[in-house]
Amino acid sequence: MNEMIQKKVFPVTGEGYNMPAYEEAYKNFAWEDVEKQFSWHTTNKVNMAYEAIDRHVDTPLKNKTALYYSDASRDEQYTFEELKALSDKFGNVLRKYGIQKGDRVFVFMPRTPELYVSVLGTIKVGAIVGPLFEAFMEGAVRDRLEDSGAVAIITTPALLSRVPVSELPALKHVILFGEDGELAEGQISYEKEMEQASADFEIEWVDREDGLILHYTSGSTGKPKGILHVHNAMIQHYQTAKWVLDLQDSDVYWCTADPGWVTGTSYGIFGPWLNGATNVVRGGRFSPQDWYSTIEKYKVTVWYSAPTAFRMLMGAGDELVKQFDLASLRHVLSVGEPLNPEVVYWGMKVFAKRIHDTWWMTETGGQLICNYATMDVKPGSMGKPFPGIVAAIVDDEGNELPPNRMGNLAIKTGWPSMMRRVWNNPAKYEEYFRLEGWYVSGDSAYMDEDGYFWFQGRVDDVIMTAGERVGPFEVESKLVEHPAVAEAGVIGKPDPVRGEIIKAFIALRDGYEESEELLAEIRQFVKIGLAAHAAPREIEVRDKLPKTRSGKIMRRVLKAWELGLPTGDLSTMED
């Protein structure tokens, strides 16, 4: 199968891209040269928000549109100068309440301009910003605020009910956007404060190794991990957005990811604005019509999305595509899950564009293995390492494997946007670096003889559903909180559109009978406790679940049951 796919290659289509030919770019590259782009090259002090926004106000980009925003009820645009002014004011609001460098400030909002202003303003005072998906429910919000010791949250009245303020002693300030009624104690009105805030603001200059952003992400065990990135990451954001996304300041760029996810910050905020590009943000829910009309309306030139979205668009049919003028598109990219060759073929057919796959992780902060505009694309492959990055397939001892052998996808340590810490959990951080000199990704892959990398799967049990990482342990823990559930095991079940869906196997407590209503209630329980995307789409009741003698649920046995495969070695299973 792979043999066959590998033979099909889509060659480089044209010239005029930022990145030189791949081999040349790789050979001549040095991160130190990229650093010279930024002011701290001379001052040693930096601030991401300055480099992404403020810096452009002293250039011809000043009055250029930085952000197009629309949803069902709003249609707005903001220049770089306007975004600077708004985020300066918001910085003053935060300072007024004593928020300072190093504090954790969470942004829990639907995708609106105010979300972007909040993120920028938070960074401007040197605080560490924690973006949260608006879909998170109370349990998920509590875990993250508690673990990070957040002192403030910016949210909306509708989402506030999911913030258990009274259980979070460190949380001193709740800034509400869209509240026109009475404010309770400790609550602050975003609009009122912004109206009164001074426009004079002095940015907090920080060190390049100071904290910038905290993204929580799931692993196979334990609660979500807080991955800390620092201002230094901008070197990578800038250069990858320039070469991989091929952003120029004339581009209208649409990253479809929410800032609650790392793609929505590294490449929905930092990368594009560091390069002076115009960002498109479309609020509201996904629909194929809406997406195509967004491209048409803004004449989007560069589009960064995810396989699940492309598969859903593909499912909506080719006829629909023809109803829109998508001629502005010049570069299309994907991230987050394996990009099936069929989707790449479809992209060629309907957009006459190659869809460029990119591989990276929350922990890596930026793109590492990609298909570039100036390189042949092999559909099904993630591409080749970015210049300055050394990637390899290694065995469990850290020995590099020859081409075409499957093993651990590992990266030589030391790229600019590498995570600097797992919040409160140094042991977890160390696990990634257990093989001397390597960052171990947790993905398995192989490299072909041309140096292209091919994704094979996760080494652990992490589920990837519609591009979102879900830790089975988190879902299992929530399931067993339900009074009817005695034990639970959760796996990813292959799905043609979402990549995987979440399937739970449960055993019921004595006195409970399996019924449609009960299963629906259990599903709802997880949905309310964690998030809609974490709720199992399928629940199967079993008398007993397979466990090791030490009591650990054997997910690989559940998976084998599900797929009708042999269960393999069961020597550690309890009787």
Q: Which is nearer to ligand WTA, 331 or 469 (CB)?
A: 469
**Binding to ligand WTA by residue 443, rule CB under 6 A?**
yes
Find the binder of ligand WTA among 210, 246, 337, 461 (CB under 6 A).
337
Sheet with 75-79, edge to edge strand ranges: 75-79, 65-70, 278-282, 252-255, 302-305, 331-335, 355-359, 369-370, 384-385
**Binding to ligand WTA by residue 355, rule CB under 6 A?**
no
| x/- track of binding to ligand WTA for residues 459-498 (CB under 6 A) | -----x----x-----------------------------
Contact 357, 339 (CB under 8 A): yes
Q: Which is nearer to ligand WTA, 156 or 217 (CB)?
A: 217
Q: Which is nearer to ligand WTA, 188 or 361 (CB)?
A: 361
CB of residue 445 to ligand WTA, shortest distance in Å:
8
**Binding to ligand WTA by residue 336, rule CB under 6 A?**
yes
403 phi/psi in degrees, rounded to 5: -55, 150
**What whole-number distance in Å separates Cα of residue 322 and Cα of residue 30?**
44
Find the binder of ligand WTA among 68, 253, 360, 415 (CB under 6 A).
360
**What whole-number distance in Å separates Cα of residue 506 and Cα of residue 466?**
23
**Binding to ligand WTA by residue 262, rule CB under 6 A?**
yes
**Binding to ligand WTA by residue 340, rule CB under 6 A?**
no
CB of residue 224 to ligand WTA, shortest distance in Å:
11
**What whole-number distance in Å separates Cα of residue 490 and Cα of residue 85?**
48
Q: Which is nearer to ligand WTA, 279 or 362 (CB)?
A: 362
Q: Does residue 122 sit in helix, strand or coil?
A: helix
Contact 285, 309 (CB under 8 A): no
CB of residue 211 to ligand WTA, shortest distance in Å:
19
Our CA angle for 429, 261, 47, nearest 5°, is 75
| x/- track of binding to ligand WTA for residues 203-222 (CB under 6 A) | --------------x-----
Which listed range, 96-104, 330-338, 514-522, 531-539, lies at the site for ligand WTA (CB under 6 A)?
330-338
**Binding to ligand WTA by residue 361, rule CB under 6 A?**
yes
**Total residues interacting with ligand WTA, rule: CB under 6 A:** 22
**What whole-number distance in Å separates Cα of residue 317 and Cα of residue 92?**
49
Cite the beta strand spans of 337-437 per DSSP E.
Answer: 355-359, 369-370, 384-385, 391-394, 407-412, 421-422
CB of residue 46 to ligand WTA, shortest distance in Å:
24
Q: Give the residue closest to ligand WTA by C-beta.
A: 362
Q: Closest Cα to residue 482, out of 503, 506, 463?
A: 506
**Binding to ligand WTA by residue 263, rule CB under 6 A?**
yes
**What whole-number distance in Å separates Cα of residue 87 and Cα of residue 301?**
27
**What whole-number distance in Å separates Cα of residue 492 and Cα of residue 499?**
9
Contact 309, 286 (CB under 8 A): yes
**Binding to ligand WTA by residue 455, rule CB under 6 A?**
yes
**What whole-number distance in Å separates Cα of residue 144 and Cα of residue 202?**
30
Q: Which is nearer to ligand WTA, 126 or 442 (CB)?
A: 442
Which listed range, 76-84, 169-177, 331-339, 410-418, lies at the site for ligand WTA (CB under 6 A)?
331-339
Q: Closest Cα to residue 349, out of 314, 312, 300?
A: 314
CB of residue 87 to ligand WTA, shortest distance in Å:
25
Q: Which is nearer to ligand WTA, 336 or 546 (CB)?
A: 336
**What whole-number distance in Å separates Cα of residue 119 and Cα of residue 146?**
20
Find the binder of ligand WTA among 121, 338, 416, 546 (CB under 6 A).
338
The secondary structure of 306-358 as a DSSP string is -HHHHHHHHHT-HHHHHTS--TT--EEEEESS---HHHHHHHHHHHS--EEEE
Enumerate residues 412-441 that contact ligand WTA by CB under 6 A. 441
Other Cβ atoms within 10 Å of 491 Cβ, number: 26
Q: Which is nearer to ligand WTA, 343 or 506 (CB)?
A: 343
CA 337 remoteness from chain centre: 11
Q: Which is nearer to ligand WTA, 171 or 409 (CB)?
A: 409
| x/- track of binding to ligand WTA for residues 376-395 (CB under 6 A) | ------x-------------
CB of residue 349 to ligand WTA, shortest distance in Å:
21
Q: Which is nearer to ligand WTA, 462 or 541 (CB)?
A: 462
Bridge partner residues of 333 (DSSP): 304, 356
Q: Which residues lie near ligand WTA (CB under 6 A)?
A: 217, 262-263, 335-339, 357-362, 382, 441-443, 455, 458, 464, 469
